[in-house]
Each structure stands twice: as structure tokens, then as C-alpha cells.
Chain A
Amino acid sequence: MRALWIILRKELLDAFRDRRMLLVAFVVIPLAIPLVLAGTNALSARKQTRQLEGPLELPVIGAERAPNLVAWLQSHNVKVLPAPRDADAAVRTQERDVVLRIDEKYGEDWRSGRPASVEVIFDSSRPLASGATVARLGGLLDGYSSTVGTLRLVARGIHPAVANPLQVGTRDVATPEARFDLSQQILPYLLLLLAFIGGLQLAVDATAGERERQSLEPLLATPVARESIISAKILATAVFSLLSIAVTLIAYRLVFAVVPARGMDASFNLGPGGLLQLFLIILPIVLLGATVLTALAAFARSYREAQGYLPLLMFLPMIPSLVLMVAPVRTQLWMLAVPFLSQNQMIVRVLRSERISALDWAVSLGASFAVVGVVWWIAARLYHREQLATSS
């Protein structure tokens, strides 16, 4: 126990004298994560505002065939543009979000009271880029259609309600915190990634690096048990990651306190309680990451080989997020027993200000800590290999 504490202290001292490691863990990451989130959030807010409230730029093919419709659109904040030579190509290359084509027989149909054709040309494979604009145009066209329809019924002496057998109303039960937003998609992944591989530098330095610098052999020649050595290195890695995460969360809070942009997602305004919950949720992932990294570094023959596993490790915390993105399902208790998936769900719940029951906490923390225990045991076994100190 005493040896464990001595090694832990020395590894942290060693790490805190490594300026590059400090810079990454306590300046670059804590600044990068909130700034990236704030940046993307501001961008999407601006785009939304522009798409919904700015003038809608709309090239119209055959505008002269429907002067009333065009005038009506213009009076509803639509800027009618001349038609491009090839409308399909213009939409496909994203030169235009949407193009309106007015049928050749529009005037004829209109006058004889048949439904007159207009065509909305858009690209459904780009819902994020043009979806809002397309929907806005659709709404305008529906509005024009029903206005004219109503007038026609009135002109024939029929009450307009006759043509509306159903009145559909909607009510959104989402709380402000639970509204779908960007941070709910990105933040869980970023946090898990940081928790899982934030200690990479230290773990690799403390095991593969120590062997490469040939200081592992003298250490193993001391009476300290190898279990204590590896446990101390795992704990040092975990403590370092936790400090980095704590600084990141505080920076996150500060950044969003300073730049409360208009239309900011509610979940960016986590209170200290929420931050503490996030911290507790990812604690097992920090330990799991520290253990896996240390085990890998003990297994790898060199510093470079150890770092070669990085892409694989970055992918692991991504899997549950990807699965949930493709097939969103309701949270079930067993999911909370699966590391990463569990933390992902828990983080989203904290961001949505949902209540987390004691059972959920117990399952999430218990199962993840059990996995940590197993990997820890494997790492300790690896540390007993004879080649550990000598194969360099």
C-alpha cells in the first residue's frame, strides 16, 4: 500500500513536469471541447435563423405563367430569382436549395378550375442543408392553396369548414432541456472519449516509455510487488485523466456562462449538480481507460506500438453512440450494464434533466466497475510476464 502511494506520487510528479503533456491535458482539451461545441452550436443557430426568417431565395421556372402566385410569394418574404438553365443540376450541386417549376398548362388549368401543377425540385439526401427551406416553401404553397380554395368555396356559397372535416392540432410535451439538440449528440461521445483515452500519454509513458528508457528493470528489482506497481500506474493515469476532465467541465461551464448566444441549447446550462453527476458517471470509464491503456502499454513492445492502438481505442466509445443514432431505442435496464452504452444513456439523461433512480445508478456503476476489475486482473497478469522488462 505504501509502495503504491509512493509510485503513484512519483508518476504524477513525473507527468506534471512534462510540459507537453500538461499543455494538452489542461489547456488544449479543456479549451477545444467547449469551443468546438459552442462554435457548432452558434453556426447551426445562425443557419436555422437564416433559413426560417431570412428572405427565401427561390428560382422559379415559368414565373410569368403564375403572376398571382409569384406576387403572393414575394409578399411573404420570398425573393424570386430567374430560373437556372438546368434546375436539377443546380439543386444537385447545392447551388440552390430548392427550385419551383410552374407547369406550362398552369394558366389553362387554373382558369378551368382544375388543380394547377407546380413542382418543388429539391434533394432529399441533404435534409440538414436544405430541409428547413423546403419545408418552408411547402408551407407557403399550402397556405396559398388553402387561401384560394377557401375563397372559391365562399364564392360558391359553401362554408369553408365543409372542406375541412378534420382539424389537427399538435402539442409538444418536450421540456426545454429535452429538446433535440446538438450537444446531446456530441457531448456524450466527447466526454466518454476523453474519459477513456485522456490518460493515454501518461499510461504509455509510465509503462512502454519506462521500458524504452530502461528504467523499468531497476524498478522491478526493488522488493515492491508487481501488482502494486501496475495498480499505482493505473491510478496515476486515472487521477491525471480525472483532473483533465474536471478542468474541461469547468471550462465548459465558463465558456457557456460567458457566451450565452441566442437560441442556445438548454443543456449547455448544466448546474454544478449536473456536472458532478457527469463526473460520477464517467468515473468507471476513466478507470477502465487507464487500465486498458496500461495493459496495452505493458503488452506492446514499444512506445510506437502502444500508440498504434489509438484509433481502435477511439472507436470503442463511439459504438454505442452510433448504434443509438441509427436505431434509437428506449432505455432498458440491461443497457445500463453495458459499459459505454450505459454511460451514454446516463449522460443524455443528465443533459435532459431526467431523474435517475438509485437502481439505475447501482447497475451502471456496479457493472462498469466489475468490468474494470476483470481488465485490472488481466493487466496485472500481463505485468508478470518475464519479457516485460527485457524485450526492448
Chain B
Amino acid sequence: MIRVEGLRKSFQTRTGRVQAVDGVSFVAADGQITGLLGPNGAGKTTTLRMLYTLMSPDSGRVLVDGLDAASEPTRVRACLGVLPDARGIYKRLTARENIAYFGALHGLDARLIAERTERVVSALEMRDFIDRRAEGFSQGQRTKTAIARALVHAPRNVLLDEPTNGLDVMTTRSLRNFLLEQRAAGRCMLLSSHIMQEVARLCDRIVVIAHGHVVADGTPDELRESTGCANLEDAFVKAIGSDEGLFA
């Protein structure tokens, strides 16, 4: 379970300070898929980066399975599986070696890594490229490899930054089924997206972020109810206050 309380983060840029995240709080429960929805530049990636301790918040705190990310960053990272915005994989290694490297860094032994890799290879349909070097992989193949390496240590909590970004329909379908399986296994899944349809389809709970604030938080039904719109799309537009970036 992931609990986020009053996160704030600002950056110094050439033109002045930018408040990227301005008081974000939410809870992502186990056995659920929680969606972090917002237009581009709303603060989703920065929020996730604070969750996996790449950045430290100016104020507020992050609890992962009850562990404070500020005081125990290593243990927090150990119980997280992360697909960051940056999907880089090592192009001179095969997909299998990429996955094994991260498994080993999480302290898994070779036998367990092989077993887990086998499972994820069939779940994500990676059979035809698993032993090829990553040089020249398609975007879908790269994303699948990155997801596989993020989950090889079977983390209790999974963070996915825009997981379907740039994927074709077939790949998106297999990824979606995979995420639903993970949910069924009782994991806490948190994914960010700027695509409303995707979030509506997958998520049990939706946290809408705009300009660094949480502007709505609830199940899809609750969102429709609170905004008074029968249609989810209208509900989002109303929650965000504009339709910028939602359909990019």
C-alpha cells in the first residue's frame, strides 16, 4: 500500500521557481489499480519520482507498506517495482540479460530470475525477442522489457509512469491483461496516464492531478456523481477546469 501525504516539490529554473507538485495526497490500496490522471506537466512524473526516492520532497511524506521513504529509502525501493518515464534499456545486452541484471540487483538468485523471466515472457508475449540484443528494439519491445525488469523481483507495489505510451493496440491489450493479473495477485498498482479512456478502463480508483494539485479522487462512479456529469470525459474536463492535454 502506498500512502502519500501533502507532497510538495519545486524546481529552480532559469525563469524562476516552478512549483511542480503542490500538496498532493492520496492512497493507493493493495489489490487495486490506482490511476494518476492529469494533463502533460501536471506533476505526475515528479510525484512518482518522489515515491521511488529519486527526488526528496520539499515537504510532505511518502509511506510504502508503512515504511517512510525519507528515512528508509533503500527498503522502500526494495519493495517497489518501477517503470520510470525513462525507459532506457542496455542495448548491447539481450532482453533476458537486461531483466536478469535488475533481478540480481534486487538480490535474486539465478534460478529464481530464470523462473520469473519465463513467467513474464509468456504473460507479455516476449518469446520472439527475449534472446535478442536490445539494439533496434521497437518501442513496444523496449517497454515490455522495461516492465519485465521492473517486476522481476515480484514487488508488492508497482509504479508505472505512462505504461502504454507509444504502444500499438495489440501490445496495449496484452499489457492491460498483464496488469489485471497483477491486480488479481493482490499487488498495489499505481499508474500515471494522460489518456482518460485508458484510466477509465483499468483503474479502480482515479486521482486527478492538475497544476500540482489533486483536483478529484474517487472511483469512476464517484467522479461522475461528484461532478454531475453522466459521461466520464465531461467529468474529467470539469475536474481539471479545461480540456488541455487530455487527448494528446
Contacts and interface: CB of A to CB of B under 8 A. Distances in A.
Contact of A222 (B86, B89, B92, B106): B106
Given A13-B92, A217-B54, 8 more contacts: A6-B104, A10-B101, A216-B86, A218-B83, A218-B88, A223-B74, A386-B56, A389-B54
Interface of A: 2-3, 6-7, 10, 13-14, 17-18, 210, 213-225, 386, 389-390, 392
Interface string B47-87: 00100111110000000000000000011011010111111
B107 interface: yes
Interface residues of B, number: 34
Contacts, number: 78
A390 B77 contact: no
Interface in B76-122: 77-78, 80, 82-93, 97, 101-102, 104-107
A222 B78 CA distance: 7
A205 B165 CA distance: 27
A200 B90 CA distance: 19
A218 B84 contact: yes
B49 A390 contact: yes
A217 B86 contact: yes
A219 B102 CA distance: 8
Given A6-B105, A14-B93, A390-B54, A218 B78 contact: no
A17 B92 contact: yes
A13 B87 contact: no
Interface of B: 49, 52-56, 74-75, 77-78, 80, 82-93, 97, 101-102, 104-107, 133, 146, 149-150
A281 B84 CA distance: 44
Contacts of B74: 223, 225
A218 B93 contact: no
Contacts of B92: 13-14, 17-18
B105 A7 contact: yes
26 contacts: A2-B107, A3-B105, A10-B93, A13-B92, A13-B93, A13-B97, A17-B93, A17-B133, A18-B92, A210-B88, A213-B88, A213-B91, A215-B89, A215-B90, A217-B88, A218-B88, A218-B150, A219-B105, A220-B54, A221-B54, A222-B77, A222-B102, A223-B75, A224-B105, A386-B56, A390-B49
A386 B86 contact: no
Contacts of B102: 218, 222
Given A217-B86, A390-B54, A222 B105 contact: yes
A386 B93 contact: no
A100 B243 CA distance: 95
Contacts of B77: 221-223
Interface centre among B87, B90, B146 (most CB of A within 10 A): B90
Contacts of B107: 2, 223
Contacts of A18: 92
A52 B142 CA distance: 69
Given A221-B77, A222-B105, A216 B93 contact: no
B52 A221 contact: yes
Contacts of A214: 86-88
Contact of B82 (A6, A218, A224, A225): A218
A225 B106 CA distance: 11
Interface centre among A6, A216, A223 (most CB of B within 10 A): A223
Given A213-B88, A213-B91, A215-B86, A221 B80 contact: yes
A223 B106 contact: yes
A2 B90 CA distance: 20
Contacts of B93: 10, 13-14, 17
Nearest to B81: A221
Contact of A217 (B80, B85, B104): B85
A210 B92 CA distance: 12
Contacts of B55: 386, 390
Contacts of A3: 105
B49 to A, nearest CB: 7
7 cross-chain pairs, A with B, having the tightest CB-CB distances, nearest first: A215-B88, A214-B88, A214-B86, A223-B78, A221-B82, A217-B86, A17-B92
A226 to B, nearest CB: 10
A225 B74 CA distance: 7
Given A13-B93, A14-B93, A386-B56, A217 B105 contact: no
A216 B106 contact: no
Contacts of A218: 82-84, 86-88, 102, 146, 149-150
A220 B86 CA distance: 11
Contacts of A222: 77, 102, 105-106
B90 A14 contact: yes
Contacts of B85: 217
A210 B90 CA distance: 8
A221 B89 CA distance: 14
Nearest to B86: A214
Interface centre among B74, B86, B133 (most CB of A within 10 A): B86
Nearest to B49: A390
